[in-house]
Structure 1
């Protein structure tokens, strides 16, 4: 088996000295983009930094500007204003030869694979190496190693029509890695895949990030993708970043309505069986009190024994949605408590926030 070795990044501009860099890999400064004939900007004053070696997610609805933003990173789209810096170098200032060298160090994975149907798996992967004039023996060694990495060691001579969607995307990932990139751009890379295949592809991207310290910028409209592998996330709406930070923080305490719609389930809605049956005062001595305990990853621990003790065991779990994101409990418990405790007697330390929703009337 050939070994896979990703070489250190080369300087983007050969005649500049090597810098002592902080952990910022990419920086967008007041970045704007307006397409010809359009009256509004597709991107508006984007200010954002992405750290070296992280998986950074960009999420938003269709038309939010996600693809425009990611395509400015390798200058497939040229900004109308502002700048994109990679390792401190403004890529808009690269000459043609420097831009070609930079793009070879920046892999890109596409939603619809972009494979050549008349070429085999091996030929599709090695095509960028052929274009770059890499010798045949080196091409073969490199492709063999990549085939093993992405789990296609048994398929070098297969054609795209003989592959599943997940296998085609693995070919796309291998092709994106042929030039030892330090940066990998994923444009809706899992949108055309079923959930099981999506999980497998995300696991592969995590492995690549972990083993080779490649910075991955991933755009998607799928919240599961952000949840599963990203370290930080930015929410894009109408060309503007409306919220960003660690994934656990944005999930646990979204500040914008768009973020709540995209990233969290309908935590503010009540089960249909309870809708319309909540009142501010009890209708009977035994009317249960409905309480929601929210966990936002801010420090409160989910301890069911404490919850039961607080209500002396007279509690029914109506609904729950708890998950762990980056090691923090995120979600809620919806509880019905009888007999109803005084609201002031409910320990506020049971969760990051405790909401008294009202009394449940008889059906």
Structure 2
């Protein structure tokens, strides 16, 4: 089943991957690597799973492609419990499930074209079909000019493009990405994310992406789940989790970076007003639920001397989330709470 992102009703009704009560404990371990994990991923979604090192991300993706068997719980893909598949059924199922790896896993003794073609050879696809499919994929990932190059001659981004093309040879409906951009520089990462986004839009492939990189979730994913010590501690639309993270780990991983006060203010900062000249320092937070008012309106409502100290607003899935830091007017400690999702007085600044 193919559902294009944007049809939110259809996405809500059509679950491609359903994980229920998933637990994984390795032999000799006393603590679960995964504990009671529940995930439901719709057809055509790009679903990000983020967590710090050791959170259980690799264990989870290995259960999703059945490189590991769960200790308990189920993983269903299109309603099929993959733990019940026979060896032959598993081989056929994996051909409908592409996998992209962090370190590319290319064969150094084969050219770009041969690396992409290899899964088709193994599957017994005839030569003419192989040629057509590889030509199509080379064009898709932009590597026509490099098709006869050896992997050692490629950049990291080009190697990952080969990996993406190889993962798509059997026309999968599900694409699993294991830290697919963590070995790449920021500019190359952006190009790979753009390619994955195009593949999702053009082909409707469901993408499940494991990462520890905040920007990957921000720039690519529709939904996100935060994994901590083998448990899902938070999940939802990316804009919602970014705009109003409920767990400390989520705030650390997903919130825009916050800076310390400038030195010019920090030396005059106190938690309580010390004189009539003390000016309140406000934080206005926005969680994406409503539009951010014009800055002129915010400044006008908070006093004639109010100035903007810092803006940490950003667009996530077409919604503005983040916060503004304002230095208010002395003698006017209150600000209209309707100007933001939440208003907080952080302290006071009193200039000599």
What residue is the counterpart of 1:12 in the other structure?
none
8 Å contact from structure 2 (residues 55, 227) kept in 1:
yes
* Distance of 1:70 and 1:26 partners within structure 2: 12
1:355 corresponds in structure 2 to 344
- The answer on 1:152 being equivalent to 2:125 is no
Matched with 1:293 is: 284
Contact 2:278 2:348 in 1 (8 A): yes
| Contact 1:300 1:349 (C-alpha < 8 Å) held by counterparts | no
Aligned to 1:127, the other structure's residue is in SS state helix
Aligned mate of 1:279, from 261, 266, 270: 270
Q: Is the Cα contact below 8 Å between 2:47 and 2:224 reproduced in 1?
A: yes
Shift of 1:36: 1.2
Per the alignment, in what secondary structure is the counterpart of residue 20 of structure 2? strand
Counterparts of 1:63-212 in structure 2 under 5 Å?
63-212=54-203
Q: Distance in 2 between matches of 1:281 and 1:260?
A: 26
Q: Rate the CA distance shift 1:84–1:204 in 2: closer, same or farther, 3 A.
A: same
Counterpart residue number, 1:37: 28
The alpha-carbon deviation at position 168 of structure 1 amounts to: 0.3
1:15-68: per-residue Cα shift (whole Å, max 9, x none)? xxxxxx941000011011111111111110111101110000000011111011
1:239-284 deviation digits (Å, cap 9, x = unpaired): 1001100101111111111111111135485445544643344333
Shift of 1:339: 3.1
Q: 1:30 to 1:276 in 2, by over 3 A?
A: farther
Q: Which residue of structure 1 lines up, in the alignment, with residue 225 of structure 2?
A: 234
Question: Structure 1 pair 273/51, CA: closer, same or farther in 2 (3 Å)?
Answer: farther
Cα pair 1:302 1:329 within 8 Å, conserved: no
Contact 1:119 1:159 in 2 (8 A): yes
Contact 2:256 2:322 in 1 (8 A): no
Q: Which residue of 1 aligns with 2:53?
A: 62
Q: Distance in 1 between matches of 2:277 and 2:268?
A: 15
User: What per-residue deviation string (whole Å, max 9, x for no partner) do you get for residues 201-245 of structure 1?
Assistant: 000000000000000000000000000010010000111001100
* Number of positions where the alignment pairs a residue of Structure 1 with one of Structure 2: 343
Q: Which moved more, 1:108-117 or 1:258-267?
A: 258-267
Q: Residue 154 of structure 1: SS of its match in structure 2?
A: helix
Aligned to 2:237: 246
5+ residue gaps, structure 1: 1-7, 10-20
2:309 corresponds to which of 309, 312, 318: 318
The 3 A distance-change label for structure 1 pair 266 and 150 is closer
Alignment check: 8 A CA contact 2:314 2:321 kept: yes
Q: 1: CA distance between counterparts of 2:350 and 2:299?
A: 23
In the aligned structure 2, how far is the partner of 1:340 from the partner of 1:187? 54
Q: Deviations over 1:49-105 (max 9, x none)?
A: 011100000000111110111111111111110100001110011111111110000
Whole-Å Cα distance in 1 between the matches of residues 221 and 140 of structure 2? Answer: 21
Cα RMSD (Å): 1.7
TM, length-normalised to structure 1 = 0.91
Q: Which residue of 1 aligns with 2:249?
A: 258
Q: Are 1:341 and 2:332 matched, yes or no?
A: yes
Q: Which runs of 5+ in 2 are unaligned?
A: 3-11
* 1:124-153 CA distance string (max 9 Å, x none): 001100000000110010000000000101
Cα distance change of structure 1 residues 108 and 272 upon mapping to structure 2, 3 Å threshold: farther
